[in-house]
Structure 1
Amino acid sequence: MGDKAHTHPGAAGRAQAADHPASVRNVVLVGSSGSGKTTLVEALALTAGALNRAGRVEDGGCVSDYDEIEQRRRRSVQLSLVPVTWDGIKVNLLDTPGYADFVGELRAGLRAADAALFVVSAADGVDGSTRVVWEECAAVGMPRAIVITHLEAARAGFEETTRACAEAFGAGDPDAVLPLYLPLRGPRRPDGHAPVTGLIGLLTQKLFDYASGERVESAPDAARLPLIEEARGRLIEGVIAESEDETLMDRYLAGEPVDVKTLIEDLERAVARGSFFPVLAAAPAAEGARQGLGTVELLELITRGFPTPLERAAPRVTTPDGRPRELPRCDPDASLAAEVVKTSSDPYVGRISLVRVFSGTLRADQAVHVSGHGPAGRGHEDHDVDERVGALSTPFGKQQRPVSHVVAGDLACVARLTRAETGDTLSSKDDPLLMEPWAMPEPLLPLAIRAHGKADEDRLSQGLARLVAEDPTTRLEQNPETHQVVLWCLGEAHADVALERLRGRYGVQVDVVPHRVSLRETFGRKAAGRGRHVKQSGGHGQYAICEIEVEPLPGGSGIEFVDEVVGGAVPRQFVPSVEKGVRAQAAKGVAAGHPLIDVRVTLRDGKAHSVDSSDAAFQTAGALALREAAAGAAIRLLEPVAEVSVLVGDDYVGAVMSDLSGRRGRVLGTEQAPGGRTLVRAEVPEIEIGRYAVDLRSLSHGTARFDRRYARHEPMPPQVAQRVREAAHEGA
Structure 2
Amino acid sequence: MMRYLDGETISDEEIMKCLIKGIRHAVIFPVLCGSAYKDIGLGRLMNAIIDYTYPAILNDFVVINEKTGEEEIRDANAPMAALVFKTTSDPFVGRLSFFRVFSGKITGDSVIYNASRDHEERIGTIFTMRGKTQIPLKAISAGDIGVVAKLQYTSTGDTLSDKNAPVKFAPIAFPLPMYTRAILAKKKGEEEKVATALSRLMDEDPTIIVTKNTSTKETLISGMWDQHIEIIMERMARKFGVEAVLKAPTIEYRETIRSSAEVEGKHKKQSGGHGQYGHVVIKMEPLPPGGGFEFVDKIFGGAVPRQYIPAVEKGMRESMEHGILAGYPVVDVRITLLDGSYHTVDSSEMAFKIASHEAFKKAAEKSAPVLMEPYYNLDVLCAESMMGDVIGDLNTKRGRILGMQSLDDGMSCVKAQVPYAEISEYAVDLRALTQGLGTFEMKFDHYEDVPLKLAEKIIAERAALKEQ
Q: Is TM (by shorter chain) over 0.5?
A: yes
Task: Tell whether the 8 Å contact from 2:88 to 2:203 is kept in structure 1 after alignment.
Answer: no
How far, CA to CA, are the matches of 2:159 and 2:42 in structure 1?
A: 40
Question: Please, which of 605, 617, 622 is the counterpart of residue 356 of structure 2?
Answer: 622
Change (3 A) 1:423 1:531: farther
Q: CA deviation at 1:353?
A: 1.7
User: Matched residue of 2:62: which SS?
Assistant: coil
Normalized per residue, which structure has more strand? Answer: 2
- Distance, in Å, in 1 between the alignment partners of 2:43 and 2:199 is 44
- Where 1:324 maps in the other structure, the secondary structure is coil
**Alpha-carbon spacing, 1:464–1:433, altered in 2? closer, same or farther (3 Å):** farther
The correspondence of residues 294-443 of structure 1 with structure 2, limited to 5 A, is 295=44, 299=47, 302-306=50-54, 308-316=56-64, 318=66, 324=69, 329-332=74-77, 334=79, 336-370=80-114, 385-428=119-162, 434-443=168-177
| Distance in 1, Cα, partners of 2:308 & 2:8 | 101
Describe the shift of the 1:293–1:631 C-alpha distance in structure 2 as closer, same or farther (beyond 3 A).
closer
Which of residues 25, 33, 49 in structure 2 aligns to 1:273?
25
RMSD: 3.7
The counterpart of 2:454, out of the listed 720, 724, 731, is 720
CA shift for structure 1 position 342: 1.3
CA contact (8 A) 1:369 1:428 kept: yes
Q: For structure 1, list consecutive stretches of 5 or more residues without a partner in the other structure.
A: 1-232, 238-251, 373-382
Q: Distance in 2 between matches of 1:317 and 1:640?
A: 44
Please state how far the C-alpha of 1:325 moved relative to its aligned partner: 6.2
The 3 A distance-change label for structure 1 pair 645 and 328 is: closer
**Relative to 1, partners in 2 of residues 1:363 and 1:460: Cα closer, same or farther, differing over 3 Å?**
same
- 2:385 aligned residue (629, 632, 651): 651
In structure 2, how many angstroms separate the alpha carbons of the residues matched to 1:538 and 1:416? 69
Secondary structure of the equivalent of 1:348? Answer: coil
**Structure 1 residues 509, 264: CA separation in 2 closer, same or farther (over 3 Å shift)?**
closer
CA distance in 2, matches of 1:488, 1:627: 37
2:413 maps to 679
Q: Which residue of 2 aligns with 1:518?
A: 252
The AA in structure 1 aligned to 2:28 is F
Segments of 5+ residues of structure 2 without an aligned counterpart are none
Q: Which position in structure 2 is the counterpart of 1:600? A: 334
**How big is the shift at 1:568?**
4.2
**Secondary structure at the counterpart of residue 657 of structure 1:** helix
Give the Cα separation in 2 of the matches to 1:399 and 1:561.
66
1:536 & 1:641 partners in 2: Cα distance?
49
Distance in 1 separating the partners of 2:219 and 2:457: 23
* Cα deviation, residue 563, structure 1: 3.9
TM-score, normalised by the number of residues in structure 1: 0.56
1:545 Cα shift? 2.1
Of residues 189, 192, 196 in structure 2, which corresponds to 1:462?
Answer: 196
**Does the 8 Å CA contact 1:268/1:306 hold for their aligned counterparts?**
no
Q: CA deviation at 1:572?
A: 5.6
- 1:461-514, Cα deviation, whole Å (9 max, x unpaired): 211111111111011111111111110111111011111112111122212233
User: Measured at CA, do residues 625 and 510 of structure 1 come closer, stay the same or move farther in structure 2, by a change above 3 Å?
Assistant: same
Specify the alignment match of 1:579 in structure 2.
313
Give the whole-Å Cα distance in 2 for the aligned partners of 1:565 and 1:644.
47
Q: Provide Cα deviations, 1:425-457, integer angstroms capped at 9, x if missing partner.
A: 334567766543211111121111111223412
Give runs of aligned pairs for residues 532-611 of structure 1, distance below 5 A: 532-533=266-267, 544-571=278-305, 575=309, 577-609=311-343
Following the alignment from structure 1 to structure 2, what is the Cα–Cα distance between the partners of residues 519 and 607?
A: 36
Cα 1:724/1:508, change in 2 over 3 Å = farther
Equivalent position of 2:370 in the other structure: 636
Relative to structure 1, is the Cα distance of residues 618 and 602 closer, same or farther in structure 2, using a 3 angstrom cutoff?
same
Q: How does 1:24-35 map to 2 (within 5 A)?
A: none
| SS of equivalent to 2:284 | strand
Query: 1:333 offset after TM fit, Å?
Result: 5.6
The question of whether the paired residues in 1 share the 8 Å contact of 2:108 and 2:126 is answered with yes
Distance 1:530 1:284, change over 3 A: closer
Structure 2-normalised TM-score?
0.85
Q: What's the secondary structure of 2:255's corresponding residue?
A: strand
Give the whole-Å Cα distance in 2 for the aligned partners of 1:262 and 1:663: 58
What amino acid does structure 1 have at the position aligned with 2:25? R
Q: How far is 1:548 from its partner?
A: 1.2
Deviations 1:598-635 (A, max 9, x none): 22323221124567766666455434421332355553
The match for 1:668 is 402
Relative to structure 1, is the Cα distance of residues 309 and 573 closer, same or farther in structure 2, using a 3 angstrom cutoff? Answer: farther
Q: For the residues of structure 2 that align with 1:388 and 1:672, how far apart are their CA atoms?
A: 50
State the number of aligned residues: 465
- 1:377-415 Cα shifts (integer Å, max 9, x gaps): xxxxxx665432233222222222222211233212222
> What is the rounded CA distance, in whole Å, between the counterparts of 2:446 and 2:89 in structure 1?
41
CA contact (8 A) 1:282 1:295 kept: no
* 603-612 or 636-645: bigger deviation: 603-612
Which whole-Å CA distance do the structure 2 matches of 1:587 and 1:330 have between them? 61
Supply the distance in 1 between the matched residues of 2:159 and 2:271 (Cα, whole angstroms). 66
Cα deviations by residue, 1:7-47 (Å, 9 ceiling, x for unpaired): xxxxxxxxxxxxxxxxxxxxxxxxxxxxxxxxxxxxxxxxx
Paired residue type of 1:408: A
For the residues of structure 2 that align with 1:597 and 1:291, how far apart are their CA atoms? Answer: 62
Q: Is the 8 A contact 2:65 2:166 kept in 1?
A: no
User: What is the distance in 1 between the residues matched to 2:30 and 2:73?
Assistant: 34
For residues 680 and 429 of structure 1, what CA distance do their matches in structure 2 show? 46
Distance 1:354 1:444 in 2: 27
Structure 1 letter corresponding to 2:109: D
Q: How does 1:194-273 map to 2 (within 5 A)?
A: 233=1, 268-273=20-25
Corresponding letter in the other structure for 2:99:
V
Residues 637-695 of structure 1, C-alpha deviation per residue, up to 9 Å, x if partnerless? 11100011112111111111110011111112212222222221111000111110111
Q: Tell me which of 500, 505, 509 is aligned to 2:234.
A: 500
Aligned CA distance change for structure 1 residues 526 and 279 (closer, same or farther; 3 Å)? same
Q: For 1:342 and 1:304, how far apart are their aligned partners in 2?
A: 25
